[in-house]
Amino acid sequence: MTPTIAPRVRTLVLLLLAAAGLLLAGAAPASAHAALTGSDPQQGVVVDKAPTQVSLTFSEQVSTSADSLRVLDPKGKPVQRGKPSNVSGTTYAVQLLSGLPDGTYTVTYQVVSADSHPVAGAFTFSVGAPSSTSVSVSGETAGGGAVGWLYGFGRYMSYAGFVVLVGGAAFVLACWQPGSGVRAVQRLVVSGWLTLTAATLALLLLRGSYTGSGKVGDVFDLDLLGQVLQTKTGAALVSRLLLLAAAALFIAVLFGAYDKREEDEKRDLTFGLAIGGTVVAAGLAASWAMSEHASVGLQAGIAMPVDVLHLLAVAAWLGGLTALLVALYRAPADTPVDTAAVRRFSTVAFGSVVALVLTGTYQSWRQLGSWSAFTDTRYGQLLLVKIGLVALLVGVAYISRRWTAQLVDTPVRGSRQAPEKERVGAGAGDAKGGSGASKDAGASKRAAQLARQRAAMDTARQKRERDADPHRFGLRRSVLAEAGVAVVLLAVTTVLTQTEPGRTEQDAKAATSSSSSTSSSGAVTLDMSFDTGGEDGKGVVRIDLDPARVGANEMHVYVERSNGRAFDVPEVKVAFTLESKDIGPLPVVPDHITTGHWAANGVQIPMAGDWEIAVTVRTSDIDQTTVSKNTQIG
C-alpha cells in the first residue's frame, strides 16, 4: 500500500467500523420475535372473582422455565404456584393460590421465542376493584444491558467472520488460485476463522445470561451453560464449532499443500476442496437458518434452505470483495492479482447479487406480510435501509465492473540476470587481481548484498508502475468503497436479525388494539352476515355484549337487511362456548323488544377466555342457519 493511500484507507476503515458500532450500540434491546397476543385475565381488566390461573397467548411457541410467568400481589409477593405449563398451542398458564384478596395484581413474563430471542413484559389486572401496588412494570425488558450489547456484538462478529472465512476461501479457490501462496490473503481467511470461532464460543457463554437474568456474573455459570446446551440455539452453536474444526482442516490444505502441487494433482485437489468447502460452508450457514428467523413461521421447510442460500451468496460477494481488496493493496509485486481473476470474481459477484435479490424478496414477503409493514414497523424500516445500502453497493460494483473491463495486466519486467552477471564479473575481476581468498569472499558478499538491494528496488519499481495504472488505481478505490458500504450493510443486517418481524409486530399491535378497545369500551360488538337460503333470508345480525366480562352481562341482538334496515325474523337464539375449557354451549334465548331487536339481561359468563358466540337465525318454518364468531370475554 502506498504511503499516500495507506492513511486514507486506515481512516476510512476506522470511520466505517465506528459507524457500524453506533448502529449496534444505538439499537434497542433485542426485540422478541414472539409477541403476546392475548391473556386471561386481559390487561387492565377488573374481575369480580379471583381467577384460578393466569394464561398468556403468544404469536408462536415459546420456551419457559420455572420463573417464566410470575403473578405478584399489590405488595409484590408471588401468588403463583408450580411451574408454567403449555395448556394448548401457544397458550401458557400458571396456577394461582386460592383465596386471593381484592386488589391489583401484576403479571410478569420472560420467555424465549422459537427463533431464539428473549421476550419479557408485564401487565396488571384487578380483582374486585383496582388498588395501589408497589410493583413497577416499566423495567421489564429482555436482552438488554451489558450482556445484551455483548451478545449483539458477538452476533455481528460471527457474521463478519463467516463472510470473511467463506468468501475469502471461495475467492482463492474459484477466482485466484495463486492467492493461496499470498501471506496477506492467508492471514485474512485465518482471521475470519478465528473471529467466527471466538464469537461462537462467546455467544455460547453469554446465551444463558442473555435469555435469563442479564447479569454479567452469570456468564460463566456452568449450570446455565448446561441448560443452554439442551436448547435449539445451544445445539446450533455446538454444531457450528464442530464444523469450524472441519473448516480448519480445509484451510490447512488450501494454504499448505495446495500451492506446491503439480497441475494435474491441483485439479483433483481443487475439485475435492470445492465439494468439501461447499458442504462445510452450507453447514455453517445452516447453524443460523435452523435456529433463528427461518426456522419458525410460514413455510419453514422452504425458508431454511432459502436462508442458507442467502447467507452463502452474502459470503461469496462480500467476503470475496474483502479478499479482492486485500489482494489489490497487499499482494506482492511478483504475485499480482491478474485481470482474469478480477473478471472471474465479477462474474461470481453478479451471480451472488441475483441470488440475493431472489432469496431476499422471498424473505421480505415472509417476514413483512403487507406493504404497510415497510413503513409501520421497525423491521420494515430497517429493511428499507438495507435495500438502499444494497442498491448503493450494486451501483459501486457497477463502477468496479467498468474498471475491470479496462484493466490490463502489466508485465513484470525482472532483472534477475543482471545481478548474477555482475556477481560473475566481480568474481572474475577479483581472480585477475589475485588478491587472495579473503578478498574473494568479501567481494562475493558485497556483490550478493548489492544484488538483493537491486532486486528489492526493481520489485518496488514494478509495484509503483503497476499501481500507477489508472484503471487498476480506479478499481482499487471503487473496491475500497464497496467494502466500506459492506461493513455498514453487515451491521444493519445484524440489527435486522434481532428485530421483531413486521408480520409479528402488526399482529401484536392488532391484538393489543382490540384488547384495549374492548377494555375501554366495556363492551363487545360482533357483526355476522347470514343467509338461510330461503326467500328474504339474507341479512346481518349484530351482537352487543356489555360489559363483556366474567359474571352478569347485558346482551342485545339486532337483525338488519343488507341496506341497514331492521326487520323481524321468527326466531333468534344465541349460544356461548369456551372450547379450551370444554364449557358450553350455554344457550340464551333473548326476548323480542321491537322490530329487529332482541335483548337478554343477566347473561352469565362463568370464566374469562376466547368464547365462541353462535347465533341461530330462522327466517321461515324450514329455513334457518347458524353463524358464529370468537371474541375475548373477561
DSSP string, 127-167: ESS----S---TT--SS-HHHHHHHHHHHHHHHHHHHHHHH
Averaged over successive runs of 10 residues, the pLDDT of the chain (634 residues) comes to 46 45 40 69 83 86 83 90 85 90 89 78 84 68 74 89 94 89 91 95 90 80 86 91 94 78 73 90 92 75 90 90 85 78 86 86 79 79 84 77 58 44 42 53 72 66 56 68 77 73 66 48 78 85 87 89 84 91 88 88 85 91 89 82
In the three-class reduction of DSSP (H, G, I as helix; E, B as strand; rest coil), residue 565 is classed as coil
Q: State residue 15's pLDDT score.
A: 44
Q: State residue 120's pLDDT score.
A: 81
In the three-class reduction of DSSP (H, G, I as helix; E, B as strand; rest coil), residue 531 is classed as strand
Reading the block at residue 32, the C-alpha cell is 422478541
Are 548 and 633 contacting, i.e. CB atoms less than 8 angstroms apart? yes
Q: State residue 9's pLDDT score.
A: 46
Long-range CB contacts for residues 184-191, cutoff 8 Å, separation at least 24 = 184/326, 184/327, 184/330, 184/331, 185/323, 185/326, 185/327, 185/331, 186/255, 188/164, 188/322, 188/323, 188/326, 189/164, 189/165, 189/251, 189/254, 189/255, 189/323, 190/251, 190/255, 191/164
Exposed/middle/buried for residue 128 (C-beta within 10 Å: 0-12, 13-18, 19+):
middle
The strand pair at 62-63 and 609-618 is best described as unpaired
Q: State residue 418's pLDDT score.
A: 41
Helix axes 145-174, 300-314, angle to 10 degrees: 70
Q: How many helices (H) and strands (E) does the chain have?
A: 15, 18
Are 214 and 151 contacting, i.e. CB atoms less than 8 angstroms apart? no
Are 494 and 486 contacting, i.e. CB atoms less than 8 angstroms apart? no
The strand pair at 571-578 and 46-47 is best described as unpaired
Are 498 and 27 contacting, i.e. CB atoms less than 8 angstroms apart? yes
At residue 335, what are phi and psi to the nearest 5 degrees? -135, 65
**CA-CA distances (angstroms) from residue 587 to 158, 519, 614, 615, 616?**
60, 25, 9, 10, 11
In the three-class reduction of DSSP (H, G, I as helix; E, B as strand; rest coil), residue 588 is classed as strand
Are 588 and 573 contacting, i.e. CB atoms less than 8 angstroms apart? yes
**CA-CA distances (angstroms) from residue 253 to 183, 246, 391?**
15, 11, 37
What letter would DSSP give residue 318? Answer: I
- Residue type for position 67: D
Q: State residue 80's pLDDT score.
A: 92
Whole-structure pTM value: 0.61
The strand pair at 69-72 and 103-113 is best described as antiparallel
Q: State residue 301's pLDDT score.
A: 85
Q: State residue 31's pLDDT score.
A: 40
